[in-house]
Structure 1
Amino acid sequence: MTYTDTMAKFAQLTEDEAVKILNLYDTGQLDRDRLITLLVGLLVVRADEAAQLADVALATQMSELRNQVVAPLGLTTDLDATAAQLEPEVEEAVDSDNRAYAVAVLGRALIMGTAQNAFHTGMQIHGVTTWKRVPNRGACEVCEDLASGLVSINDVMWTHKGCGCTQQPIK
């Protein structure tokens, strides 16, 4: 399984877990405050795991690129800052007209965005100068077009909400 496929599966798992928690609220098993707390907690932990997964994937790709073992950097997220940022976003998703969809999109976007940012940070630390975009299966037309060339490490990967593309170091 490729890193891109692994991240897509991890994002889907997170999305599914968030919707299950929301269903507990919809069936009266949770009050709103507990729902928000549980969703924020889930998403904060999963975002940190996404950063760690990106770190390990990058170490694997760097090992192949350099033809020597490269250890993970120990990339993580700032859990408190992530929780503070997420709480109003979770509240907005929960209060939206189509809350199941909004919570699912928020979960997917957070996982993929966190992994993409961690991977880019890791490439910078490793001294990568060039990378390419790896579109996910079923990627949108824009992402497919953007995957056609090499990109400078100085350029952050353009993404849309829930973008499933990943990066691959080249040199």
Structure 2
Amino acid sequence: MKFVTAVWDDGGFFVDPRAYLAELAKFRDRLPEGARNFATDPAHYDLGYGNSHCVKDLELSGIQVATDKSGGLTLEFAPNQWKHDAGLRISYSGVTHFSVDYKHSIDWMLVDTVLLDEILPGEDGGCLHEIALTDASITVRCADLQAVWGDAS
């Protein structure tokens, strides 16, 4: 990620969205509408434990890739039982790149959970969404995305 810090540091994870939030104010109008709404939601990067719409600690629970050439992709995240009231479903349109890169360095965690994410304007008017997980990273280049809090299994 370019601005968000999400790293393993001295036996724990260190996350910091402040540099991203400062830059987001400069390019928010260049993001497609769905991506802009998701990235600028005040709860998105509120790391306080009382915020159930912060993406931190969501558990990756599903990936659905379109088998046709529609460019559709859906990522599902289950709620963390200690923090979230609901899961999150992110539906991407016009996907031109999708990758999951695994590190396989943390063998004591049963599932990959979100550390933080970052959405940047794409070169073609779309966006680039990067998600740092505890043991992997997800990268999606797309025309836009829609993030909906609700029942994601």
Range into which the TM-score falls when normalised by the shorter chain: under 0.3
TM-score (norm 2): 0.27
Larger radius of gyration: 1
> TM-score by structure 1 length?
0.25
Q: Which has the higher helix share?
A: 1
